[in-house]
Structure 1
Amino acid sequence: MAVNTADSVVTVRPFVSTTDGAEVIIGDTDRKVYLAIPAEGLDILHALAEGRTIAETARIYERKHGESADIEDFVAVLADEGFVTRGGEPAPATEPAHEHGHRTIKRWSFDWISPATARRLTGPAVIVPGLAVILAGVVLAASDPGLLPGARALLFEGGNFALLTVVSVTLAMIGLSMHEFAHALAARSVGVSATLGISNLMYILVAQTDISGIWMASKRARYKAFLAGFFVDAFFGSLLVAFLFAARHGVLDAPNWSVLLASAALLTFLVRIGFQFFFYLRTDIYYVIATALNCRNLMSDTERFLANGIKRLTFRRDKVVSQAGIPRNEMRKVRVYGAIWVFGRIFSLFALVFTILPVLWVYLEQFVLLAMGEPTRFSSADFATVAVLAGLLNGGGLAMWGRNLWRGWRRRRAEDAKMLARQAAAG
């Protein structure tokens, strides 16, 4: 493992930068890696890019700023993130250093949407009326809480279960697509590339829009991009609330099947809105919090902090990876978020054990009964519909989670070995 010394000359990869308060965000757009550094760090990067040694860069920095800086440690952090390499070292892989181990099945690009079109579709002319609809929906729901659906809405009592389930899932997929499309539109409105893929958050199969380049935009643009999907869910959920309110109070003479579908669709929007607040995962609200706290690597730093804690408790202090490069104020936020991360994951595991797995077990049990010719809760069509959907959604999410846990463990071992080797070489 090569270690930078005062006489080292490093290669600086091409990067872009933008000012964010007292910090500067640098980005390697090819690898989609973004890092916040002190504003003075740009002087160091520019000097290194000119071919200066670390010692020469330190002298230039001291002359300009009137104080010394630990350039070697700063360069080590940049090397960990792949922004610099020492002569003779291989260029960093295309996978980001803070990639969280998720793999997508396929990606579709939204870059065909022009920024001008996206700005029109995400501007005040759309947002203001949308907020009015959301406010109206909240008022109607508050005036008649009984119209809000519970889990039984998915049983479609009094309707054709199989048919309404298929239509309901189709509507849910359309709603999810609009949610992700909103993220893409908000990103494209400031010229940021956006792609859509299928991934997972723990055992939950999700669609995710990659707008990582939004870190190079202003905070206002970031908030807009991260909250765009939330806005769309609240807007269409409010329209459904208005429909159900009108049907419930005799304003509309709606057929029963439409009320059943509207209730089920509203439930999916409410669940999706509620899920965003599980910010111990990489949800939309997580990214809002990370932006507000100025912690772009909040999740990755927290996971390493917790891993270091486990190593200390299990008497493996020699395996602890230093986080000395993280500012003290930011490290306090990591510790607080660490507690949220732990309790959130415990909650999710309880939900898996006591909700998801029992539901899958019921489906399996009914399948066995059907195969043995015994009475079952569902007809053949009902069972086939539920079995296929459960297998694709729940089974797919569990399979991707298991695969990513294994890949993530291997990746973290490789990263930790690299950092420990650097710490040992540095003495």
Structure 2
Amino acid sequence: MNLSLQSHLILYPVTIRQDKKNYIIEDTFSGEFYEMPEICIDAISLINSGKLLREVERELTIKYSDEEVDIISFAEQLMEFGLVKEINGEAVLRSKEKQSPKGFTWISPRIGKLFFNKFMNKIYFVLLFLNILIVLFHPELFPNYRDIFIFDSMMINMITYMAVSLCLLLIHEFGHILAVRSHNLPTKLEVGHRLFFVVFETDMSTVWKLKPKQRNVLYFAGMAFEQVMIFIAFSLILFFSGGNSILTGILGIVIIDIFIKTVYQCCFYMKTDMYYILENVTGCYNLMENGKHYLSKWLPFIKKDATTEVFKGEEYIIRLYSLFYVSGMIITCLLCVFYFLPLAYYAYARTFSHLFDSVGNPYFWDAIAFLGQTVLMIGLFLYAWLKNRRDI
């Protein structure tokens, strides 16, 4: 179906919300969102008023005399988004399906507001401050990689850590769910996997219906619940000092797991909750894509992304984000040096020592099982890596 300046378009209904710098367009049918500058909003308004593309382009050229106006390219983009209903009276086939989540509507918004309101939002930041003070006054509570090893059996240590980490992950995601429901918006909990790990992710697509300040609360919600959990863990350890060693050990796992996850939130080369907060505060919603494109000039191992668009005034923010991007890589390396490598060395040094025990010793079989799990993990990693290489 050819487009020309003589074409007359009819668009599907959209909802337009003004954001910090540009506008957020919501496809009311599919639930998809797009960021557009003011000139595009004016173009949509003129198209909806029944004007031909030629007339739309002429009016936009007069109003935006300092910008290049190409209404044909914009109309083609609207077609790619599936927003064009008819061209010159001829229907345009639409293959989109509704993508808006509909889950967790059984949770009343009132319950969500019990956990996320002006008062509670301040409480979470107070807890964050208190947790920092607790560590400063009790430096022995600062997590150590050996906190994971509360049993002599490596397999039991691994199972315990994975169970605690999974529970904390669910608590984190439930924070997001309650925050979304506090605004009476639907969401869903998606279950996937990365290699052999189960991953839960809350669908946050509906947050674009909210104002930027409200979105920040939803992005922070998971970390807010983690601050509650780590404060409880600190308090119980201080209260039961010298008490139940297993309970203290499990609380130590809670602390180190949340600590590592919190540090990972600052690794801005991944789309973490903190990344989305940074994106939301700056109003630049393609920071990672634009940042990678900018860094690829100096770091050849970073792939260019030519599909993204830099809006006017975002250049400085993208350069600043690039520093955060590189800093995140450094933080990851530091985690490896101070936590993951010592942890792995400690675990395997103890495991290898039991390989020389007698076959009747249960720790010999514990070592065999732990090493067997390691071989399986490496095999799955190599399979995923090779499969990813073939798909490129």
Give your verdict on TM over 0.5: yes
Residue of structure 2 in register with 1:258 after alignment = 247
Residue of structure 2 in register with 1:53 after alignment = 52
Cα distance, 1:32 vs structure 2: 4.9
Query: Contact 1:131–1:235 at 8 Å: present in 2 too?
Result: no
Residue of structure 2 in register with 1:179 after alignment = 172
Residue of structure 1 in register with 2:186 after alignment = 193
Instruction: Name the SS of the counterpart of 2:240 in structure 1.
Output: helix
Which of these residues, 347, 351, 365, is aligned with residue 380 of structure 1? 365
Residue of structure 1 in register with 2:317 after alignment = 333
Query: Contact 1:24–1:39 at 8 Å: present in 2 too?
Result: yes
Instruction: Name the SS of the counterpart of 2:313 in structure 1.
Output: helix
Q: Equivalent residues in 2 for 1:259-338 (5 A)?
A: 259-303=248-292, 321=306, 326-338=310-322
Cα distance, 1:234 vs structure 2: 1.4
The whole-number CA distance in structure 2 between the counterparts of 1:223 and 1:19 is 17
Cα distance, 1:377 vs structure 2: 11
Cα distance, 1:60 vs structure 2: 4.9
The whole-number CA distance in structure 2 between the counterparts of 1:300 and 1:322 is 9
Cα distance, 1:37 vs structure 2: 2.1
TM-score normalised by the chain length of structure 1 = 0.71
Which of these residues, 104, 117, 120, is aligned with residue 123 of structure 1? 117
1:18 aligns with 2:20: no
Distance 1:171 1:397, change over 3 A: farther
Distance 1:7 1:338, change over 3 A: farther
How many pairs were matched up? 385
1:139 aligns with 2:133: yes
1:222 aligns with 2:206: no
Any stretches of 5+ residues in structure 1 without a counterpart? 97-106, 410-427
Residue of structure 2 in register with 1:212 after alignment = 205
Distance 1:294 1:127, change over 3 A: closer
The whole-number CA distance in structure 2 between the counterparts of 1:309 and 1:93 is 39
Query: Contact 1:204–1:398 at 8 Å: present in 2 too?
Result: no
1:232 aligns with 2:225: yes
Query: Contact 1:366–1:377 at 8 Å: present in 2 too?
Result: no
Instruction: Name the SS of the counterpart of 1:110 in structure 2.
Output: coil
Larger RCO (alpha carbons 8 Å, 6+ apart): 1
Query: Contact 1:205–1:396 at 8 Å: present in 2 too?
Result: no
Q: 1:113-167 CA deviation, whole Å, 9 max, x = no partner?
A: 233332233124544444444443332211011122211111215x665445433
The whole-number CA distance in structure 2 between the counterparts of 1:21 and 1:295 is 9
Distance 1:138 1:145, change over 3 A: same
CA RMSD in angstroms, aligned pairs only: 4.8
Distance 1:321 1:296, change over 3 A: closer
Instruction: Name the SS of the counterpart of 1:112 in structure 2.
Output: coil
Query: Contact 2:61–2:69 at 8 Å: present in 1 too?
Result: no
TM-score normalised by the chain length of structure 2 = 0.76
Distance 1:332 1:378, change over 3 A: farther
Distance 1:117 1:139, change over 3 A: same
Q: 1:229-263 CA deviation, whole Å, 9 max, x = no partner?
A: 11111121111112222333xxxx52111111111
Query: Contact 2:264–2:332 at 8 Å: present in 1 too?
Result: no
Which of these residues, 147, 151, 174, is aligned with residue 153 of structure 1? 147
Query: Contact 1:148–1:263 at 8 Å: present in 2 too?
Result: no
Distance 1:397 1:303, change over 3 A: farther
235-244 vs 2-11, greater mean Cα deviation: 2-11
Cα distance, 1:308 vs structure 2: 8.5
The whole-number CA distance in structure 2 between the counterparts of 1:95 and 1:65 is 35
The whole-number CA distance in structure 1 between the counterparts of 2:105 and 2:70 is 38
Query: Contact 1:193–1:211 at 8 Å: present in 2 too?
Result: no
